[in-house]
Structure 1
Amino acid sequence: MSSLYLLHKPYRMLSQFTDSEGRATLADVIDVPGVYAAGRLDYDSEGLLLLSDDGALIHRIAHPRHKQPKTYWVQLEGQMDESALKALRSGINLKDGPTRPAKARLMTPPALAPREPAIDPKRHPSTCWLELTISEGRNRQVRRMTAHVGFPTLRLIRASIGAWQLGDLQPGEWRRETLHAPRPAKSAKRSGKPTATRPRRHS
């Protein structure tokens, strides 16, 4: 049995618990001892971050070999067209090589808490929202992909990792799930249902 913590990482927060420069860290929003993040989100990205005190579980989630699909909600500058969507779906060539084909579709603006600071509508009068699902995790990959097809990213929120969803967690909130190990022998292919606690709300 392992505990997994689903956290909505706020904008401009590091995906770690300490920082010598005084920037916001995970220690500001989650007070569970001995947990570590399975992967990371950039300082200027928001959304779902998974944490656990189980090293094997962290490895299974974060290792590229397992190709956990990750879905992002991306606010873009401009109005993305079908040719750009087709390029993302086919895979594009970045400086570190071609990307795998992604799932990409335009979406209505998601119901999200306002970002602080907000995106200035005078500087960015025309924006759209993209839902993008990828199965790799290169450095700042989503931002590089959208820029490559001509639509810079203004805001980036990770909505899911594998089967785990951000849901209604607000920035700085988290919830715990208990994961039961698969049963041996005949039941080896089945795993227990995760049980979730109510989100912790922080002021």
Structure 2
Amino acid sequence: MALILFNKPYDVLSQFTDRGGAGSARRTLSDFVAVPGVYPAGRLDRDSEGLMLLTDDGRLQARIADPRYKMPKTYLVQVEGEAAEEALAALRRGVRLKDGLTRPAAAERIADPEPWPRDPPIRVRKSVPDSWIRLTISEGRNRQVRRMTAAVGLPTLRLIRWSIGDWTLEGLAPGEWRAVRP
């Protein structure tokens, strides 16, 4: 059984092939991971960065990706605006989105984690401050973290998934991967 931790760079699809049609030249997992028979356990949006787990074990893949198992996922989120306690408290209670109320999240303001440079860099506005939060969720709705931060008045500028369960990005630069024991 294989389990691979991969640090997905910005602007990379979380699949091995690009079904974008003729002339599409978007980067995919196959540009970084040349291990046959592994598949992503869950997704990460093209404009998000960070930890992806790849495995050849269908049961493990389902356990990681299926929201029924409530595997916690922690994100480092750079947001536009000052992350005030009221906004963090709302995230902790659960946020009403168009598809219903989210489960309560762990949310705290953190110092700039000084991640690797992003290419291209985020858009910074001199007149609007930004801040960082650590957000841990146990469900996986489409673009959930971005929708949650927007709902509390803190649009996401940069999103890095730091951990899934006990697995973290520790020691992995963007585009790097390592095999671990499941």
> What's the TM-score, normalizing by structure 2?
0.94
Could you say what secondary structure the match of 2:61 adopts? helix
Whether the 8 Å contact between 1:77 and 1:124 is mirrored in structure 2 is no
Aligned position for 1:34: 37
Aligned position for 1:5: 4
Question: How far 1:123 moved relative to its partner?
Answer: 5.8
> What's the TM-score, normalizing by structure 1?
0.85
Question: CA–CA distance in 2 between the matches of 1:124 and 1:93?
Answer: 29
1:68 aligns with 2:71: yes
Of residues 99, 105, 108, the one that matches 1:105 is: 108
Question: CA–CA distance in 2 between the matches of 1:47 and 1:123?
Answer: 27
Question: How far 1:121 moved relative to its partner?
Answer: 2.9
Give structure 1 stretches of 5+ with no counterpart: 180-203
1:150 aligns with 2:149: no
Whether the 8 Å contact between 2:2 and 2:38 is mirrored in structure 1 is no
Question: How far 1:126 moved relative to its partner?
Answer: 1.2
Question: CA–CA distance in 2 between the matches of 1:127 and 1:142?
Answer: 16
1:130 aligns with 2:133: yes
Q: Which has the higher contact order (CA 8 A, sep 6+)?
A: 2
The one-letter code matched in structure 2 to 1:155 is R
Question: How far 1:124 moved relative to its partner?
Answer: 6.7
- Structure 1 126/49 Cα, relative in aligned 2: closer, same or farther at 3 Å? same
The one-letter code matched in structure 2 to 1:17 is F
- The structure whose Rg is larger is 1
Question: CA–CA distance in 1 between the matches of 2:101 and 2:144?
Answer: 11
Question: CA–CA distance in 2 between the matches of 1:102 and 1:159?
Answer: 15
- Structure 1 124/33 Cα, relative in aligned 2: closer, same or farther at 3 Å? farther
Question: How far 1:80 moved relative to its partner?
Answer: 1.3
Quick one: percent identity of the two aligned structures? 61
The one-letter code matched in structure 2 to 1:178 is R
Of residues 166, 175, 179, the one that matches 1:176 is: 179
Note the aligned Cα RMSD (angstroms). Answer: 1.2
Greater CA drift, 149-158 or 110-119: 110-119
